[in-house]
Amino acid sequence: MKTITFSLFVSLLFLFLVSACYEENTKLMRIGTNVWPGYEPLYVAREKGWLDLKRIKLIEYPSASEVIRAFRNKTLEAASLTLDEVIQLRESKIPVKIVLVHDISAGADVIIAKPGIESMQDLKGKRIGVESGALGAYMITRALETHEMKLSDIDVVNMDVNLHETAFSRGQVDAVVTFEPVRTKLLTQGGKEIFSSKEIPGEVVDVLVVHEDYLQEYGDNITSLIDAWFEVLAYRQTNAKEFAEISSRRLKVSTEDVTASYNGLLLPDRAENINLLSGRDAKLHRSLVEIQRVLEQHGLVEKGIVLDGLISPFGR
């Protein structure tokens, strides 16, 4: 009897130690996003059961500003952000790595104005709703620069993106710097698109960033997530309708709105990601350098931020 009891004790102890080691080596990766069609494949992967929920937890925030705040505070291990936001993290000396390109905006980020406002020049003296995070500042800066205007030409109203639709419909602002799916909603209300990311190709890029220390210790979790990401992209190619239906249920919008929200958005596959992220002269690095130039020129970041070593393709 004593022998049996001792054997049972040893077996239970072994199982406990194995379980503890597994938990330690697969520490949960909390990923922060805001609502944006370029991030939606993450949630479709979760719905399809392609994410290991013991390793990966998706957390959606109302705005990118809140995602950045949570990432800075290390209540997130990873976050989906734009390149300009990543540069601002780098400015704060936060060790991060870019491991994946989610999407490239080619018209999905916009300035939408009220009816009667036909061009950027018509915005002079008008109230523009702009998210206080880095992307909002970057978009309005590039729009003004492209159309030879100054910040003093407009009245900037700081507001998170979850307030854009209400503020626009109530006439609290004359225009908003916004993005999908708000873009499609405002266009159906008669809004006029007067600037978009098509005018600044390759500058609005969404990426997955990870804290460097987490990447070094739990790289397998990154690999697992990225494999699931590309699985969803392949699935979307052949099952676009089902993809839209899954997203529409989660976002509580029509499947038509989901489909429309991908207009003007490029989702690079694995081969395209490798091309963007790899090599000493990676295409993404060139985009980072150009964005850094604009941010420095307009005083949005300090000068001399070192971008070397920021990119780590697929966490490798």
The answer to whether residue 21 scores a pLDDT higher than 50 is: no
CA-CA distance, 273 to 103, in Å (whole number)? 10
pLDDT tens figures, 203-242: 999 999 999 999 999 999 999 999 999 999 999 999 999 9
Which one is predicted more confidently, 102 or 14? 102
- What single string gives the DSSP state of each residue in 132-193? SSHHHHHHHHHHHHHTT--GGGSEEEE--GGGHHHHHHTTS-SEEEEETTHHHHHHHTT-EE
* Mean pLDDT confidence for 192-199: 96
Question: What is the band of 298 on the pLDDT scale with cuts at 50, 70, 90?
Answer: confident
Q: What is the pLDDT, as a whole number, of residue 85?
A: 93
Q: What is the pLDDT, as a whole number, of residue 13?
A: 47
Q: Which two tokens stand for residue 85?
A: 């936001």
The full set of domains in the chain, from first to last, is 26-104+203-315 (3.40.190.10), 109-199 (3.40.190.10)
Q: What is the pLDDT, as a whole number, of residue 162?
A: 84
Question: What is the band of 26 on the pLDDT scale with cuts at 50, 70, 90?
Answer: low
pLDDT tens figures, 232-283: 999 999 999 999 999 999 988 899 999 998 988 999 999 999 999 997 778 9
In the chain, % helix, strand, coil (3-state, to 5) comes to 50, 20, 30
| Neighbour-count burial of 290, counting CB atoms closer than 10 A to its CB (0-12 exposed, 13-18 middle, 19+ buried) | middle
State the residue for tokens 């419909």: 169
Does residue 182 contact residue 156 with C-beta atoms inside 8 Å? Answer: no
CA-CA distance, 278 to 220, in Å (whole number)? 20
Q: What is the pLDDT, as a whole number, of residue 5?
A: 54
**pTM of the complete model:** 0.85
